[in-house]
Structure 1
């Protein structure tokens, strides 16, 4: 083994603590990139493979009722490749031993065979037999939630009539990878089901013989989707069409696409933050680490080693540390990504989701950390190599004594000798002190990101389910109903308050931008469903005009006072022009709001409601559910406490899982930074500390000098660290906001305290380690300038 190689091995062992700390900094940055990129590719690849193999449609349309013969003519529209009509309708289910209401969607299958589009992936059992009216295929998520198997029986209410169905099979569908009920944001697999029946059976149950109410189609290569949608809307308008839409507005696809969008942002923003911080810290630490070996560099030069050989030696030292940290980051990132892939498979129901770490992510992460380490080492090696060996072998000459700017600025009379030594050292080395403060501040900023996400999620849920939604149940009716239904509901057992609502599907247009949303008509003033301003205060519905969520207004590029074109997509399909009168800030979903009386007047349908919110006595809740189950006009019953729990479960397992992972990474980086700062400061000042010991200073006094510097640098780093944390939190808040949910930018004392506690805890742990090392300080070797 060559001499320099033996030195390299000894250095790595001697510096094992610092090597591991630097490796943790590198691993943290690399892990974020590997985790984000691998998860993104796994989810994206699984989706595309499943869509292609199961012929997922590209355009969808719904009508009230249209003859099957019309479908043949629609298939001839220019640009249409395959078109398949079908029947689908809302229904309700009941299961033995489960008393909560179960709502669902029934879809038709060609009798005894797979559909052309949106084919089923059978997990168990098979399709309903041709000619059987009592068989159904149920969704895998619902079956798993209730432990159902082929052969089990279900009680269903189809168009107000009870029917007993036998489970023929359990399946996945590209339409319902993310199985969520209409108007819901999160899936509730126990209370929302999707099932498929033979077309003849379903059409008979809902009076749709010889007709269809749903279309799915694919497009020819190069066809204009917008032109096809326009042609469909024109042809279906007379049959009660509610407007065709593309795959990008299909609920399941839209949610998965939003998840992918956030993953893409996460794969850019978060690794960029962590890798940038890691690269900066690595650059500083490697430079200072090699600077402590200035005497060794001089001795090696005196023995005839060339500058290029020394550069190679220290490049190998930096490279070994980089490879260790990089390998650790890749391993941890791949492990976390595999766990996350299982989580996504559970939520999105992909039959398989293999994951792999892309080669370009490995190369990119290695290049970034290697460049940072190389620059830090290279700059210092060449500076030290340029010194004459005789000069470099001598300990650095003491600086000319003078009062530092800190001593002249601060009242140092009360600090004692140790305090003045600390201030003097920092004042004479402002660049080193500044880099140490910057490193600790960046670590505090990373810690603050995790704390912010935890606080923001709790604030978002609290605002939505404590301030906005004040009801206990949400009822949806099969058809618009006269408002007197409120009085009937008020007399049911356990009902404390009732508030009816009217919702219609509309397309809002402003300029060339448009969005499909639900226009919600509420009582004025509302009691059980509030709308909030940016400060979280309830707002009154405007006397005239429209109120929309701020996110929707920004999507439409509309401001208060602008006129919005409102195309009603059901009933008489009126086209309205309404003034945007106010904006509201809600954390979940997007929507448009109007006073119910104004909406009903515009629709010319009388004082009607198609749903109601109920405030319920918990003690009589089950009696109320039993009474509602017997009312055929109630299409769906939503339980707000279960919806809230669903939101919490999803965020706990996705967003908060990421937050905790990043919190762990940030903590490891914080420890690595503080530890390396302390160890390098100890190495740089070993001769000075040994001199103080020889002059009669006790071990505790010398320890106070070194620890005072660590604590002071940490305290100085907190304000800029908080500022960096605020900037990082604002960046993440803007990057990850979507029409599904928007985390509020809340910076609580908890977030600031958590960041401070994190770096202070790291400093305390490091201080204990330094005190232990100080007790083993070799005074003679340190006075001679020998590195230990």
Structure 2
């Protein structure tokens, strides 16, 4: 049976459905983001773990120049190693009909049949290649789909200088190729990089690896010491040209997936509390005004025998109902949003299966946090209920006393009409209420501005990386470091206007216990086509000695200018070098390091060597240039900046990056909800007074001006406060979106402030019109009744 107080609560909820709904939506948004992000994190982690385990992804990858297969049992016998095997990998160039340039690919030997092997493939279509058919291959499914290739088609590819036709007998995926990029690139593009799997005898014949391997795969035993195992593997492979064992956590594909998961965790930890804090504040304002307006009813309830606890519980139920409804709505929206996002992850990453997995803890956390946030906003108000005595509470509240306030100057009073003076008196004599409304609207302004700056930050990352730092049209990569005279061959190709050498070598950076696996970019003095920039976006002249770290790499290593870091070069004799940090560069994509090319070659004892070149092209000559480059055997691949730019934008608009659009739309909706809520509260407080003005002869417009003038002033005062809040929120949210692969700066353009102001002013105007409509429809007689 429903009690009298519960019936009153239901009537109050219906009467305040606009305000209650706005607050419930704010709570729902926070819970939705919490459920969605935690569900996606759990889905990615569980799917990745299941995929890795089912297809036995190796724990360690160790490249080697050439090692005999007899070394594999030696690796197998190392402490902590549960399984070891050697495989063959190599570079390939695929000829795609209609494309002037060959597409880069990686050739990989298939695991041996009829035995437990590491890095097994998922067969998506077709069948496995026959052991006696050297021309049969498997092709990476995503690459095949990008070029409309199916089992039965023929593929022409060059491996180790031999151009041959191969028959595609199956399409495959692998846990080590969830995120695929061409060597030296960060941005994936299914059409520009492929993977070819071949039988062991076929690929051994092509790369002259009979009885040998050039990559060791190792699975570690449970409880093994990873660092000790890596050191032991390096010692075994060092005589055969080993370049250093890489743990799974540093494997490129896995590392990117982990960064995606980390980004989701970051946004899930930062954003929902912001929305729930705003909801707690709004509930505090609503319940405060509600208690103040119903003080007579509270006194009457106490006079009839209701205890302080019963009356307090009644108002607390009101708050909990709104919070619970918002939390339940947020759970449902979180499930729907998570399932929609899963489809995007399946498209962008190469999971053969990915089902949105609900995280039960996220529901409990969402509901609990919502209730706690709502409770925090109402507990202070409930103390006022306990303090009210029935006799005092049942008296009508005394009219507002403005005598103690500052007197309005005569010159101002003479220039203002009566409605304007009413607005000014309320603003100056009730600063507490005005401050509450101002802070609420400022919070909405801050949310909108923060998301607009995040949009601008993503745009800045793209512009800085692809137009300011990289000013080339294409990057040419050689199969191996060549003499710098190779640049003369490039300059002779008609259509290539300018060339600039690059020298890249893989390296591991160490600073005390911190390390990072990356590469050093050797640059010529006063580079023009690809530059390192300082924090003010001015070109840095790479010093003849020392190393310049990107901002992200310096942060990872906790290194500053003047520090000495150790660098393990993973090329040639693999020296270990102490290098002084000569500066820090502003780079928003990747974590590169820069050195003078001549100095880098001197340290490597390979003078005059280049790994490739940045080039600019004459407009309209691209196809001719590509045809000439295709004829050069030393060219491993060509990357067009326009294609990399398109792929990078796609990457940033997928996964965690896409959430910024969801958050932006939510921020704008919440901004409207906050402003509308403030307007509704003002109407409920002033309805009796405004009805009195109408009876005294004020027109509808004049009465509305008294109400809306207050809202206008509060909104205008809230805008600069919201700008300051937006700056802080922008910093926090940008940090949540940034990963090791790209960083999002906080960019505050004047236009960003203008758009955020327009959002707030638009919300204020719309809310004002809705509130004026309700005021015009109000029953003046009912509004003027005094409850005795």
Give the TM-score, by structure 2 length: 0.96
User: What whole-Å deviation, never above 9, does each CA across 1:607-648 have from its counterpart, x for those lacking one?
Assistant: 111211111123010111122222221112211111111111
Contact 1:112 1:127 in 2 (8 A): no
Q: In the superposition, relative to structure 1, how do residues 112 and 388 fare at CA in structure 2: closer, same or farther (>3 Å)?
A: closer
Spell out the pairing of 1:522-671 with structure 2 (5 A cutoff): 522-671=523-672
Take 1:296 and 1:376, find their aligned partners in 2: how far apart are those partners?
Answer: 22
Take 2:461 and 2:407, find their aligned partners in 1: how far apart are those partners?
Answer: 45
Partner residue of 1:454?
455
Partner residue of 2:497?
496
Take 1:608 and 1:474, find their aligned partners in 2: how far apart are those partners?
Answer: 17
Take 1:376 and 1:409, find their aligned partners in 2: how far apart are those partners?
Answer: 41
User: Which runs of 5 or more structure 1 residues have no equivalent in the other structure?
Assistant: none
Partner residue of 1:257?
258
Spell out the pairing of 1:56-455 with structure 2 (5 A cutoff): 56-110=57-111, 116-377=117-378, 379-381=380-382, 383-384=384-385, 386-402=387-403, 404-405=405-406, 407=408, 414-455=415-456
User: What whole-Å deviation, never above 9, does each CA across 1:194-229 have from its counterpart, x for those lacking one?
Assistant: 111001111111111111110111111222111121
Q: In the superposition, relative to structure 1, how do residues 297 and 311 fare at CA in structure 2: closer, same or farther (>3 Å)?
A: same
Contact 2:454 2:746 in 1 (8 A): no
User: What whole-Å deviation, never above 9, does each CA across 1:479-498 have from its counterpart, x for those lacking one?
Assistant: 21111111111111311111
Contact 2:111 2:119 in 1 (8 A): no
Q: In the superposition, relative to structure 1, how do residues 412 and 476 fare at CA in structure 2: closer, same or farther (>3 Å)?
A: farther
Take 1:176 and 1:662, find their aligned partners in 2: how far apart are those partners?
Answer: 30
Contact 1:94 1:155 in 2 (8 A): yes
User: What whole-Å deviation, never above 9, does each CA across 1:32-59 have from its counterpart, x for those lacking one?
Assistant: 2112211111111111111111111111
Q: Which moved more, 1:398-407 or 1:499-508?
A: 398-407
In the TM superposition, residue 405 of structure 1 has moved relative to its aligned partner by 4.5
SS in 2 for 1:618: coil
Take 1:424 and 1:457, find their aligned partners in 2: how far apart are those partners?
Answer: 46
Take 1:496 and 1:366, find their aligned partners in 2: how far apart are those partners?
Answer: 63
Take 1:110 and 1:56, find their aligned partners in 2: how far apart are those partners?
Answer: 12
In the TM superposition, residue 533 of structure 1 has moved relative to its aligned partner by 0.4
Spell out the pairing of 1:737-756 with structure 2 (5 A cutoff): 737-756=738-757
Q: Which moved more, 1:337-346 or 1:652-661?
A: 652-661
SS in 1 for 2:621: helix
Quick check: 1:476 aligned with 2:470? no
Take 2:145 and 2:690, find their aligned partners in 1: how far apart are those partners?
Answer: 67
Contact 2:283 2:378 in 1 (8 A): no
Contact 1:85 1:213 in 2 (8 A): yes
Q: In the superposition, relative to structure 1, how do residues 377 and 543 fare at CA in structure 2: closer, same or farther (>3 Å)?
A: closer
Contact 1:291 1:381 in 2 (8 A): no
User: What whole-Å deviation, never above 9, does each CA across 1:392-427 have from its counterpart, x for those lacking one?
Assistant: 344321133326349579956544332322222122
Contact 1:495 1:615 in 2 (8 A): yes
Take 2:376 and 2:79, find their aligned partners in 1: how far apart are those partners?
Answer: 60
Contact 1:112 1:198 in 2 (8 A): no
In the TM superposition, residue 377 of structure 1 has moved relative to its aligned partner by 4.4
Partner residue of 1:21?
22
Q: In the superposition, relative to structure 1, how do residues 487 and 116 fare at CA in structure 2: closer, same or farther (>3 Å)?
A: same
User: What whole-Å deviation, never above 9, does each CA across 1:495-515 have from its counterpart, x for those lacking one?
Assistant: 111112111112222333332
Take 1:384 and 1:221, find their aligned partners in 2: how far apart are those partners?
Answer: 61
Contact 1:135 1:167 in 2 (8 A): yes
Take 1:708 and 1:387, find their aligned partners in 2: how far apart are those partners?
Answer: 33
Contact 1:122 1:171 in 2 (8 A): yes
Partner residue of 1:693?
694
In the TM superposition, residue 343 of structure 1 has moved relative to its aligned partner by 1.1
SS in 2 for 1:122: strand
Take 2:408 and 2:366, find their aligned partners in 1: how far apart are those partners?
Answer: 44
In the TM superposition, residue 436 of structure 1 has moved relative to its aligned partner by 1.1
Q: In the superposition, relative to structure 1, how do residues 405 and 84 fare at CA in structure 2: closer, same or farther (>3 Å)?
A: farther
Partner residue of 1:41?
42
Give the TM-score, by structure 1 length: 0.96
SS in 1 for 2:128: coil
Take 2:261 and 2:113, find their aligned partners in 1: how far apart are those partners?
Answer: 36
User: What whole-Å deviation, never above 9, does each CA across 1:584-627 have from its counterpart, x for those lacking one?
Assistant: 11110111111212222222222111211111123010111122
Q: In the superposition, relative to structure 1, how do residues 318 and 194 fare at CA in structure 2: closer, same or farther (>3 Å)?
A: same
In the TM superposition, residue 369 of structure 1 has moved relative to its aligned partner by 2.1
Q: In the superposition, relative to structure 1, how do residues 578 and 697 fare at CA in structure 2: closer, same or farther (>3 Å)?
A: same
In the TM superposition, residue 359 of structure 1 has moved relative to its aligned partner by 2.3
Q: In the superposition, relative to structure 1, how do residues 765 and 190 fare at CA in structure 2: closer, same or farther (>3 Å)?
A: same
User: What whole-Å deviation, never above 9, does each CA across 1:296-322 have from its counterpart, x for those lacking one?
Assistant: 333444444444443343333333322
SS in 2 for 1:758: helix
Take 2:405 and 2:749, find their aligned partners in 1: how far apart are those partners?
Answer: 38
Take 1:785 and 1:363, find their aligned partners in 2: how far apart are those partners?
Answer: 44
Q: Which moved more, 1:763-772 or 1:728-737?
A: 728-737
Take 1:786 and 1:200, find their aligned partners in 2: how far apart are those partners?
Answer: 95
Contact 2:27 2:275 in 1 (8 A): no
CA-atom RMSD in angstroms: 2.2
Q: Which moved more, 1:634-643 or 1:283-292?
A: 283-292
How many pairs align?
787
SS in 1 for 2:130: coil
Take 2:754 and 2:655, find their aligned partners in 1: how far apart are those partners?
Answer: 25
Partner residue of 1:4?
5
Partner residue of 2:464?
463
SS in 1 for 2:650: helix
Take 1:557 and 1:628, find their aligned partners in 2: how far apart are those partners?
Answer: 42
Take 2:350 and 2:10, find their aligned partners in 1: how far apart are those partners?
Answer: 50
Q: In the superposition, relative to structure 1, how do residues 583 and 5 fare at CA in structure 2: closer, same or farther (>3 Å)?
A: closer
Q: In the superposition, relative to structure 1, how do residues 306 and 578 fare at CA in structure 2: closer, same or farther (>3 Å)?
A: closer
Contact 2:308 2:385 in 1 (8 A): no
User: Which runs of 5 or more structure 2 residues have no equivalent in the other structure?
Assistant: none
